């Protein structure tokens, strides 16, 4: 009776399509013997067809696959997949946090039973990070809900916080979920990581499939360990050339999003390759993948290399071999960038694709600067900002808020020496420059949050921020204006009180 984990069965009936709505794909059907009568009652329509591929000369039918396709093939126990196929995928890690966790838990209990157990207590990572240091009662209650559930289910990875007055008194507390996942060794090549947060795509930097889902889907995964996904086609971004010393990965991704727009990668996978990408450290690669969702992308991937393995060696062990896109693979679109020719950018209000050269915005007077979030609050981001302050030696002209993403980042800010500073730490440089004291690690004002959130924009002000979105009201006030930028650009802008190209200080 017990059968091993097997491939799901599909019941697909063709549906007559209107002539104006031509489907370009044919369904892929895999039958399975174990099927009940009930299935026949269910209508299904065809999955999109696969593009025609010619058989290999060996006579067996093979086709080239992209990295994302290979990862999903492994996770769905198939040897081959093509874009457009809907497949049931085994999930390796499910992450949730204080904003979506309670809702997910509610759905899990409602659908699977009040006494149901999660599919695997070691594969769920619960990370309170969004609304932590606030007096908002519901927000505090939501963290309690997570704790109760983790206790009940004996969840192995729950990064709890109880003492809200002093984050350092909570040894388990980490901070921003996506950075915590990386730092705690939950990101592994070729795995499938899902999270109830749109920036889950951040983890694609580790050569895995990582994407955001909602509470209902997450509730389903919580109970079964599986999710139904459509295999996305892959867009390739080739970034070559030596990275200029005034550019960071944030500039690269803003360049790309400005190029393809906020919907340019909708339902697609974004693969980042090239000599520049290879030269990036893991935190910079995370910044690239983090904002894939801002282009509408389903997931982002960076191929695994020595840099990846070095980062992982003291954190975790690989569970599968890294995979790479086949040489003959045809990407749905390819973009090439000569990075040496790029300049520092901003995304002007109110869209991440509202790209402009930082130097062309030099007349924009600003009211504040925010350096933080999963996108721009990592150790490398603070080191970068410190570099600019060090080069200038002057004080900032506007309030400059610093929010380290995690406890580890906070400690780095206070302990790591900044190159060229004679042994000073970031925190010392920030203090000398007149920045605000680095705050407790959390998502803080990136997404506004409860009214008393640190650095929340409660008045209509102009802010240069290293965060990921700048739609109306994003950081709090509906009329607030947020310019998205790299840590270099943010620091440079803080020093002048205007949107400023960091070359003013770094050349």
Partner 1 sequence: MVIIVVSVVVPSPWSNIAIIVLSLPATILSLSSTFNLRFPSRPSFPKCPSFSRSPPEPLLSTAPRAAVTPSSPSPTTFHGPCYVIGDNIDTDQIIPAEHLTLVPSKPDEYQKLGSLALCGLPSSAYPVPFVLSGAASTPFPIVIAGANFGCGSSREHAPVALGVAGVWAVVAEYYARIFFRNSVSTGEMFPLESEETVIWKECTTGDIVTVDLDERWLTNHTTGKEYRLKPIGDAGPVIEAGGIFAYARKTGMIASASTA
Closest CA to 170 of 371, 442, 354: 442
Binding of partner 1 at residue 310 (CB under 8 A)? no
Would you state the torsion angle of the CA atoms of residues 279, 281, 282, 286, taken in this order, to the nearest 10 degrees? -80
Closest CA to 268 of 76, 69, 87, 64: 69
Count of beta carbons in the 10 Å neighbourhood of residue 109: 17
Half-sphere exposure of 485 (CA within 13 A, CB side): 38
Can you tell me which of 19, 38, 79, 166 binds partner 1, judged by CB under 8 A?
Answer: 38
Binding of partner 1 at residue 434 (CB under 8 A)? no
* Distance, CA of 12 to CA of 14 (rounded, Å): 6
| CB burial string 279-314: b at 16+ within 10 A, e below | ebebbbbbbbbbbbbbbbbbbbbbbbeebbeebbee
Count of beta carbons in the 10 Å neighbourhood of residue 423: 7
* Distance, CA of 120 to CA of 252 (rounded, Å): 38
* Distance, CA of 37 to CA of 315 (rounded, Å): 48
Q: Which stretch binds partner 1 (CB under 8 A): 183-191, 250-258, 259-267, 303-311?
A: 259-267
Cβ distance to partner 1 smaller for residue 146 or 464:
146
Binding of partner 1 at residue 142 (CB under 8 A)? yes
Q: Which stretch binds partner 1 (CB under 8 A): 169-177, 249-257, 273-281, 441-449?
A: 441-449
Helix (H, G, I), strand (E, B) or coil at 270: strand
Closest CA to 409 of 444, 448, 372: 372
Cβ distance to partner 1 smaller for residue 230 or 362:
230
We find the least distance from the C-beta atom of residue 499 to partner 1, in angstroms, to be 22
Specify whether the backbone of 77 is left (phi greater than 0), alpha (psi in -120 to 50) or beta.
left
* Distance, CA of 294 to CA of 292 (rounded, Å): 5
Binding of partner 1 at residue 99 (CB under 8 A)? yes
Number of residues in contact with partner 1, rule: CB under 8 A? 96
Count of beta carbons in the 10 Å neighbourhood of residue 367: 16
Binding of partner 1 at residue 163 (CB under 8 A)? no
Binding of partner 1 at residue 26 (CB under 8 A)? no
Cβ distance to partner 1 smaller for residue 229 or 396:
229
Q: Which stretch binds partner 1 (CB under 8 A): 69-77, 222-230, 278-286, 359-367?
A: 222-230
Can you tell me which of 26, 44, 164, 416 binds partner 1, judged by CB under 8 A?
Answer: 44
Q: In the range 351-390, which residues lie near partner 1 by CB under 8 A? A: 351
SS (H, E, C) 230-245: ECCCEEEEEEECCCCC
Cβ distance to partner 1 smaller for residue 118 or 405:
118
Q: In the range 325-354, which residues lie near partner 1 by CB under 8 A? A: 351
Q: In the range 475-494, which residues lie near partner 1 by CB under 8 A? A: 476, 478-479
We find the least distance from the C-beta atom of residue 9 to partner 1, in angstroms, to be 5
Q: What angle do CA 378, 486, 297 make, to 5 degrees?
A: 80
Binding of partner 1 at residue 19 (CB under 8 A)? no
Can you tell me which of 474, 481, 501, 505 binds partner 1, judged by CB under 8 A?
Answer: 474
Cβ distance to partner 1 smaller for residue 261 or 316:
261
Helix (H, G, I), strand (E, B) or coil at 211: strand
Q: In the range 446-465, which residues lie near partner 1 by CB under 8 A? A: 447-451
* Distance, CA of 287 to CA of 289 (rounded, Å): 6
Cβ distance to partner 1 smaller for residue 393 or 460:
460
Q: What angle do CA 370, 376, 381 make, to 5 degrees?
A: 100
Cβ distance to partner 1 smaller for residue 99 or 405:
99
Can you tell me which of 21, 54, 166, 419 binds partner 1, judged by CB under 8 A?
Answer: 21
Q: In the range 278-297, which residues lie near partner 1 by CB under 8 A? A: 293, 296
Q: Which stretch binds partner 1 (CB under 8 A): 103-111, 250-258, 366-374, 424-432?
A: 103-111
We find the least distance from the C-beta atom of residue 466 to partner 1, in angstroms, to be 18
Binding of partner 1 at residue 48 (CB under 8 A)? yes
Can you tell me which of 158, 209, 220, 410 binds partner 1, judged by CB under 8 A?
Answer: 220
Binding of partner 1 at residue 420 (CB under 8 A)? no
């Amino acid at each position: 009776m017990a059968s091993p984990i097997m491939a799901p069965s599909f019941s697909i009936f063709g549906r007559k399509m209107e002539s104006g709505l031509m489907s370009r794909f044919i369904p892929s059907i895999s039958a399975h013997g174990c099927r009940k009568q009930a299935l026949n009652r269910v209508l299904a329509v065809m999955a999109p067809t696969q593009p025609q591929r010619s058989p290999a000369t060996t006579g067996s039918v093979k086709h080239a696959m992209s990295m994302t396709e290979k990862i999903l093939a492994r996770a769905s126990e198939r040897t081959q997949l093509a874009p457009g196929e809907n497949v049931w995928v085994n999930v390796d890690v499910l992450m949730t946090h204080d904003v979506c966790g309670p809702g997910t838990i509610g759905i899990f209990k409602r659908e699977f039973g009040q006494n149901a157990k999660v599919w695997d207590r070691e594969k769920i990572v619960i990370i309170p990070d969004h609304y932590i240091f606030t007096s908002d009662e519901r927000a505090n209650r939501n963290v309690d809900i997570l704790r109760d559930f983790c206790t009940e289910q004996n969840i192995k990875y729950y990064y709890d916080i109880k003492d809200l007055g002093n984050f350092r008194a909570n040894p388990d507390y980490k901070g921003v979920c996506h950075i915590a996942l990386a730092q705690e060794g939950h990101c592994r090549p070729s795995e499938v990581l899902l999270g109830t947060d749109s920036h889950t795509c951040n983890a694609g930097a580790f050569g895995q499939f990582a994407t955001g889902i909602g509470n209902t889907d997450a509730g389903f995964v919580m109970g079964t360990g599986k999710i139904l996904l459509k295999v996305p086609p892959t867009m390739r971004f080739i970034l070559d050339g030596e990275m200029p010393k005034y550019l960071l990965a944030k500039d690269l991704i803003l360049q790309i999003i400005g190029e393809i727009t906020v919907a340019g990668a909708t339902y697609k996978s974004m693969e980042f390759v090239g000599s520049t990408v290879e030269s990036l450290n893991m935190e910079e690669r995370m910044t690239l993948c983090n904002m894939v969702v801002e282009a509408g992308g389903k997931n982002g991937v960076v191929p695994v290399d020595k840099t990846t393995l070095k980062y992982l060696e003291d954190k975790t062990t690989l569970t599968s071999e890294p995979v790479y896109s086949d040489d003959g693979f045809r990407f749905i679109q390819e973009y090439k960038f000569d990075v040496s020719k790029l300049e520092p950018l901003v995304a002007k209000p109110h869209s991440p694709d509202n790209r402009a050269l930082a130097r062309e915005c030099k007349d924009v007077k600003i009211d504040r600067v925010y350096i933080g979030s999963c996108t721009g609050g990592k150790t490398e981001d603070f080191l970068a900002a410190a570099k600019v302050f060090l080069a200038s030696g002057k004080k900032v002209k506007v309030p400059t808020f610093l929010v380290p993403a995690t406890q580890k980042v906070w400690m780095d800010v206070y302990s790591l020496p900044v190159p060229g500073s004679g042994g000073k730490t970031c925190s010392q440089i920030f203090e000398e420059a007149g920045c605000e004291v680095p705050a407790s690690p959390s998502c803080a004002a990136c997404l506004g949050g409860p009214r008393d959130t640190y650095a929340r924009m409660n008045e209509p002000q102009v802010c240069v921020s290293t965060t990921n979105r700048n739609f109306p009201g994003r950081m709090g006030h509906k009329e607030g204006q947020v310019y998205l930028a790299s840590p270099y650009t943010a620091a440079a802008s803080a020093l002048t009180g205007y949107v400023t190209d960091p070359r003013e200080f770094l050349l």
